[in-house]
């Protein structure tokens, strides 16, 4: 079955897509009756071309490409208002996490996508020292995204106020923290426990370069 979108584009409906999202997110997406409570409560809905209720509808219809290309995937601030207000117990946020991972697996986003770069650096920092060191994290992010000058003034003000210390402590038992990353990456944990397998393998040091 082909479906026409409002922009006049055709996409073949794929019912397996709905089942895959359902299984991996653990969310009963088939229950959504489009009341738009999620969209009404969403703080970024007004900035998104595809709003939360619509993304769930795309999943229901099996419109894989449309759903995986939705800008909301990367705009979601993870506030979970959608989940708290959904009368059917669906966390759109959880659905979006899974769609992000599927979008990466499908090659629809470049690996230097800023949200992916941030998550990758954040997690490799934890895998390395057991804790996040904010200053090195910020500098690495700025280098990776080539945005050195953006927020430079803010960074200096924070440095002057002692908000970005040059040295912070790490965990002593780093081997144990690393083991947790490996254990999760190697376990082939149940599908609803790994939203973004590519990124997980990269941070656990098991999946080659990112």
Partner 1 sequence: MRYSYYPGCSLAAAAAEYDLSLRRVCAALGVDLAELPDWNCCGATPAARVSTALALALSARNLALAQRAGLDLMVPCAACYNRLRRAEHALASEGPRRRNLEEMLNFRYTGEVKVVSAPEAVCRVGLRAIADRVRRPLEGLQVACYYGCLLVRPPEIVAFDDEESPVLLDKLMLALGATPVEWAYKTDCCGAGLALTRPETAQRLVDRLLAAAAEAGAEAVVTACNQCQISLETRRAAASPPLPVFYFTELTGLAMGVPGTGDWFRRHLVDPLPLLRRLRLAG
Which parts of this chain interact with partner 1 (CB under 8 A)? 43-44, 47, 74-75, 77-81, 83-84, 91, 97, 100-101, 114-115, 118-119, 122-123, 126, 130-135, 138, 141, 150-151, 154, 157-158, 161-165, 168-169, 171-173, 176-177, 180-181, 183-184, 187, 189-190, 192-196, 199-200, 203
CB of 3 to partner 1, least distance (A): 29
61 vs 72 by CB, closer to partner 1: 72
- Smallest distance from the beta carbon of 123 to partner 1, in angstroms? 6
Distance CA(209)–CA(196), nearest Å, equals: 15
Q: Which is nearer to partner 1, 15 or 87 (CB)?
A: 87
Q: Give 44 or 109: the residue with its C-beta nearer to partner 1.
A: 44
Strand partners, 11: 3
Half-sphere exposure of 118 (CA within 13 A, CB side): 6
Of 13 and 44, CB closest to partner 1: 44
- Residue 175 Cβ vs partner 1, minimum distance, rounded to whole Å: 12
d(CA 139, CA 81): 32
Which of 60/196 has CB closer to partner 1?
196
Q: Which distant-in-sequence residues (6+ apart) come within 8 Å of 110 by Cβ?
A: none
CB of 49 to partner 1, least distance (A): 13
Write the CB contacts of 144 (distance below 8 Å, at least 6 apart in sequence): 112, 117, 121
**Residue 1 vs residues 4, 45, 62, 64, 176: alpha-carbon distances, Å:** 10, 29, 10, 13, 50
Burial class (CB in 10 A: 0-12, 13-18, 19+), 20: middle
In whole angstroms, what separates CA 97 from the centre of its chain? 5
The tokens describing 165, both together, are 């210390």
Residue closer to partner 1, measured from CB, 61 or 200:
200
Secondary structure percentages of the chain, helix, strand, coil, to 5: 55, 5, 40
Q: How far is the CB of 37 from partner 1 (least distance, A)?
A: 13
The distance of closest approach from Cβ of residue 15 to partner 1 in the complex, given in angstroms and rounded to an integer, is 25
């Amino acid at each position: 079955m082909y479906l026409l979108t409002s922009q006049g584009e055709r996409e073949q409906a794929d019912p397996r897509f709905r089942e895959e999202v359902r299984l991996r997110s653990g969310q009963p997406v088939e229950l959504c009756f489009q009341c738009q409570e999620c969209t009404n409560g969403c703080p970024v809905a007004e900035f998104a071309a595809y709003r939360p209720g619509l993304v769930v509808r795309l999943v229901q219809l099996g419109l894989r490409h449309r759903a995986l290309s939705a800008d909301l995937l990367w705009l979601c601030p993870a506030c979970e208002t959608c989940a708290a207000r959904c009368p059917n117990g669906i966390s759109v946020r959880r659905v979006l996490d899974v769609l992000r991972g599927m979008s990466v697996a499908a090659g629809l986003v470049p690996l230097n996508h800023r949200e992916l770069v941030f998550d990758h650096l954040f997690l490799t920092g934890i895998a390395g020292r057991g804790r996040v060191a904010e200053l090195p994290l910020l500098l690495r992010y700025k280098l990776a995204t080539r945005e050195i000058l953006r927020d430079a003034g803010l960074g200096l003000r924070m440095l002057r106020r002692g908000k970005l210390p040059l040295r912070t402590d790490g965990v002593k038992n780093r081997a144990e923290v690393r083991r947790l990353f490996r254990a999760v990456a190697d376990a082939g944990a149940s599908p609803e426990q790994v939203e973004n397998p590519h990124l997980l393998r990269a941070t656990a040091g098991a999946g080659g370069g990112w």
